[in-house]
């Protein structure tokens, strides 16, 4: 086991009707003037935004709104949010939505107190020293951004989709999580969320660090539970308890618990980020394509953990089978799981055409350098082969 | 699943040599003058206290020391600590030790800013509004106090051993956790710690709340891992990775993770607190006696979760067996596990004589009222029968 820091200071307020606690929570964490960031019209139509506004007003909190943050959030909206926050003397950023809204809100939160360009923190030119406090009312369980110090922003000029991690200052102060709010999600978004949270666990699970049995067995328990409950939801999308399990799992998948004591990998995410940046597909849908392709490629070079995943998570019996067969059956079963959820595992099908693999690989090299990951360190030639295997 | 709040804000700094980070951590969390609380002479002899003092001094932090906090910490030392802290203008309390030292430090931390008697917070006369910040250098993995908002103090006058939980203000700011520091523990203390952390999970696991499969499967994974690694340590007490797993598990057992969405029970702890208060035995040793006796009593009235424990944690195959048999075999296997660790499961053997069951039951009634717990609500007559079954 490696040395680690586990720091998950967010107060998670979980369950039915918890959105009415938003105002008091903002107040408790020192907010007086809020930038209220949201995404599509569904949070308005469902009445959620109205409930949040009312809760803020009842707590005597002023707010200014930034609406319409789209999936794969872009730098232009961040600049806009920073200006808005400065103009109105905002001291707290409240995100009502899923990962894209939260990530955009976090970028605003580190941008406001910084004299330079916020993109400095994403391109590695500067490290943020402070941020406005961020709170979350979560509507899509997927990204885990409600409990993480991460933010992913895409620069429109050049299609750089960059993920940063500043855990000491960017973890939200609180996250209100009501599973009922997720029942009206289109099925595709639920399925993409499941693929995303599972991948947050894979990135930590697939590791060569020895003697991580405690972290591994927690990760395996969460992965099995997510898959079980996703299949329940496919049949019964209004099942509260399955919604609740999936929602809480999305947080645990990404708050650091599943990575304690381990070297993390993050290749699949980086391979996928190019796809959603260039072809504007849903991140989770991209991961359902890239993770089995990545797993298959690394299993041929370092089968140990893929075998463990196949047996302990996918339920493949190893009796009388070679290691390669167990890995193959586990990955096949994972692809079958994604197909049952209605997700494709083919890159061509995902983007509806022929992807430009040179473009993807060169863009990846531009963002990430010459190698990727640790479980099996990948050259850019390896990455291109994984894109090919995903076709 | 029930609504819940999960709030575990402590920064856990885990691994080899992490104690040298103590000074910078105190500084980061705003401490300038520290009350340095410790227990027996072993932390002095091992050089740990010296390293901590040096780290504080290097960070320019002043300190005053309170030494010799004994197991089952008592109110007299808390009063002493409060006076010492006030006399020296202390603004941060640092505990170097195990649960008893941390719990005493926490009591001082809520006592210092309070004009009344700190015991008001333990006997239910008042609720603390604030506390001095607390930091921890952990030497005994057991109580989970390094990540919890709990504190257990015994009032010398009358033997009231009372546990309180003030999660919003009493969770330590940081906990330095170096598994190497636990290698020199006497085996008995390691074994007692294992019994304690397991019981922190039982108290949450044994619950009638429906649809808590995610929380349950995480709890089962941790319990299995603790038992596996405890058996490894019995043979190889210097195994770093087993020490590390046990140490991290002790935190996860009690930081709230294993109770998310569930009604918790806490009967076994309350039954045991009377024993360690009146007979001054180690808390973990008392739990190894009381938990199987409690489990056996409740299994006859509400077998569901005991059966699940027997199968999923103790590895009992349910094939061709009655529910009662599976429960019995699971509890037998748990007793066998404690015996392998060198712990007794007999109350007489534990205290080396005949316990006064009337005294224990009446004292329990005085501290807790007429009923105990939720998995099977216990009358005081039930509690007496459980003490009898534990003899």
Which residues of chain B have a CB within 8 Å of the CB of A141? none
pLDDT at position B71: 87
The two structure tokens encoding residue A245: 């399990």
Q: Which residues of A touch B5 (CB under 8 A)?
A: 11-14
In the prediction, which pLDDT does A169 show? Answer: 93
**Residues of chain B contacting A1 with CB distance shorter than 8 Å:** 15, 240-241, 244-245
Confidence bin at B146 (pLDDT 50/70/90)? very high
DSSP H or E run through B120: helix B120-123
Please identify which residue in the block is written with the tokens 């106090």.
Answer: B145
Q: Are A335 and A343 in contact (CB under 8 A)?
A: no
Q: Which residues contact B101 (CB under 8 A, 6 or more apart)?
A: B37, B38, B39, B69, B73, B95
- The residue whose two tokens read 């990948």 is A378
Please work out, in degrees rounded to the nearest 5, the angle formed at the alpha carbon of residue A160 by the alpha carbons of A158 and A161: 145
Tokens 């910078």 appear where? Answer: B24
Nearest to B5 among A12, A228, A252 (CB): A12
Split at pLDDT 50, 70, 90, the class of B159 is confident
Q: Nearest chain A residue to B11 by CA: give it.
A: A7
Cβ atoms of B49 and B38 within 8 Å: the answer is yes
Nearest CA to A139 out of A56, A204, A71, A199 is that of A71
What residues are paired with A36 via a beta bridge? A65, A94
Which residue on chain B is closest to A3 by alpha carbon? B15
Tokens of B46: 């091992």
CA distance A259 to A199: 12
How many whole angstroms separate alpha carbon B151 and alpha carbon B170? Answer: 8
**Beta-carbon separation of B248 and A260 below 8 A:** yes
The alpha-carbon gap from B162 to the nearest alpha carbon of chain A, in Å, equals 27
Query: Among A4, A5, A6, A315, which would you mutate to test the B interface (most chain B Cβ atoms within 10 Å of its Cβ)?
Result: A6
Q: What number of CA atoms fall less than 13 Å from residue A228's CA on the CB side?
A: 18
Q: What is the pLDDT of residues A325-358, one digit of tens each?
A: 999 999 999 999 999 999 999 999 999 999 999 9
CB B374 within 8 A of CB B264: yes
Rounded Cα gap, residues A135 and A59, in angstroms: 15
Q: Looking at CA atoms only, how far is residue B12 from chain A in angstroms?
A: 5
Rounded distance, CA A111 to CA A124, Å?
14
Compute the Cα dihedral for A219, A153, A338, A250 and give only its sign.
positive
- If pLDDT is split at 50, 70 and 90, which confidence band does B160 have? confident
Secondary-structure percent of chain A, ordered helix, strand, coil, rounded to 5: 55, 15, 35
Indicate yes or no: CB of B245 within 8 angstroms of CB of A8: no
pLDDT at B172: 98
pLDDT of residue A19: 98
**Which three-class secondary structure state does DSSP give residue A169?**
helix
Rounded to a whole number of angstroms, the distance from the CA of A228 to the nearest CA of chain B is: 10
Closest CA to B54 of B21, B31, B14: B21
C-alpha radius of gyration, chain B, whole number? 20
Q: What is the pLDDT of residue B149?
A: 95
Chain A residues within 8 A of B29 when measuring between CB atoms: none
If you average pLDDT over residues B95-117, what whole number do you get?
Answer: 97
pLDDT at B270 over 80: yes
The CA R_g of chain A, rounded to the nearest whole Å, is 20
Tokens of B17: 């040599």
Nearest Cα to Cα of residue B330 among B248, B230, B227: B227
- The partner residue sitting opposite A214, judged by closest CB among B8, B214, B225, is B225
CA dist., res. B131 & res. B107, Å (int): 9
Mean pLDDT, chain A, as a whole number? 96
Round to whole Å and give the CA distance between A352 and A354.
7
Q: How many residues does chain B have?
A: 391
Query: Tens of pLDDT along B69-83?
Result: 998 899 999 999 999
As a whole number of angstroms, the distance between CA A64 and CA A195 comes to: 34
Q: DSSP assignment, residue B74? A: B
> Which two tokens mark A268?
């699949």
Residues 6+ apart with CB under 8 A from A129: A169
The whole-number average pLDDT for the span A148-172 is 89
Identify from A3, A212, A315 which residue to disrupt to test chain B contact, counting B C-beta atoms within 10 A and taking the largest count: A3
Task: For residue B324, count other CB atoms closer than 10 A to its CB.
Answer: 13
> What DSSP line would sit under A319-371, residue for residue?
TT--HHHHHHHHHHHHHHHHHHTT----HHHHHTS---HHHHHHHHHHHH-SE
Q: Which helix (H) or strand (E) holds B94?
A: strand B92-97
Contact check, Cβ <8 Å, A244/B1:
yes
A116 burial level (CB within 10 Å; 0-12, 13-18, 19+): exposed
Report the SS3 class of residue A149: coil
B4, B6, B172, B232, best to mutate vs chain A, most A CBs in 10 Å: B6
pTM of the model: 0.96
Task: Return the SS3 of B37.
Answer: strand
Tell me how far apart the alpha carbons of residues B122 and B99 are, in angstroms, rounded to a whole number.
17
Q: Specify the length of chain A in residues.
A: 391
Structure confidence at residue B40 (pLDDT): 83
Is residue A188 within 8 Å of A195, Cβ to Cβ?
no
- The phi, psi pair for B147, rounded to 5°, reads -125, 5
What distance in Å separates residue B210's CA from the closest CA in chain A?
9
Which residues of chain B lie closer than 8 angstroms to A5, CB-CB? 11-14
**In the beta sheet, which residues pair with residue B65?**
B36
**Residue of chain B minimizing CA distance to A242:** B211
- DSSP at B289: H
Q: Could you tell me how many CB contacts below 8 A there are between chain A and chain B?
A: 112
Q: What would the mean pLDDT of B96-124 be, rounded to a whole number? A: 96
For residue range B238-261, list pLDDT tens digits in order. 999 999 999 999 999 999 999 999
Mean pLDDT of the residues in chain B: 96
**Cα of A37 vs its chain's centroid, Å:** 18
- DSSP type of residue B38: E
Point out which residues pair with A8 in neighbouring strands. Answer: B8
């Amino acid at each position: 086991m490696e040395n680690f820091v586990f720091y998950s200071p967010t107060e998670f307020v979980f369950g039915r009707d918890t959105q009415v606690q938003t105002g008091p929570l903002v107040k408790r964490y020192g907010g007086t003037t809020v930038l209220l960031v949201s995404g599509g019209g569904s949070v308005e139509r469902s009445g959620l935004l109205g409930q949040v506004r009312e809760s803020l007003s009842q707590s005597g909190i002023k707010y200014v709104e930034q609406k319409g943050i789209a999936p794969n959030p872009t730098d232009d909206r961040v600049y806009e949010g920073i200006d808005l926050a400065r103009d109105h003397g905002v001291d707290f950023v409240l995100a009502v939505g899923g990962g894209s809204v939260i990530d955009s809100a976090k970028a605003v939160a580190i941008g406001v107190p910084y004299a330079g360009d916020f993109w400095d923190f994403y391109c590695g030119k500067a490290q943020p020293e402070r941020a406005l406090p961020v709170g979350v009312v979560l509507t899509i369980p997927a990204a885990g951004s409600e409990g993480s110090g991460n933010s992913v922003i895409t620069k429109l000029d050049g299609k750089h989709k960059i993920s940063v991690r500043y855990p000491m200052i960017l973890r939200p102060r609180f996250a209100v999580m009501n599973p009922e709010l997720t029942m009206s999600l289109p099925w595709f978004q639920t399925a993409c969320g499941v693929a995303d949270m599972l991948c947050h666990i894979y990135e930590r699970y697939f590791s060569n660090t020895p003697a991580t049995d405690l972290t591994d067995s927690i990760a395996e328990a969460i992965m099995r539970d997510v898959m079980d409950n996703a299949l329940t939801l496919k049949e019964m999308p209004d099942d509260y308890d399955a919604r609740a399990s999936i929602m809480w799992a999305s947080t645990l998948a990404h708050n650091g618990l599943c990575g304690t004591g381990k070297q993390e990998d993050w290749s699949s995410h980086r391979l996928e980020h190019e796809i959603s940046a260039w072809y504007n597909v849903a991140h989770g849908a991209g991961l359902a394509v890239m993770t089995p392709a990545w797993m298959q490629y690394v299993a041929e070079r370092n089968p140990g953990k893929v075998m463990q995943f196949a047996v302990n998570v996918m339920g493949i019996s190893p009796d009388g089978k070679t290691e390669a067969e167990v890995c193959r059956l586990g990955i096949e079963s994972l692809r079958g799981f994604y197909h049952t959820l209605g997700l494709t595992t083919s890159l061509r099908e995902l983007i509806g055409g022929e992807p430009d693999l040179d473009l993807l690989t060169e863009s990846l090299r531009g963002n990430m350098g010459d190698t990727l990951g640790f479980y099996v360190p990948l050259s850019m030639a390896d990455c291109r082969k994984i894109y090919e295997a995903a076709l």
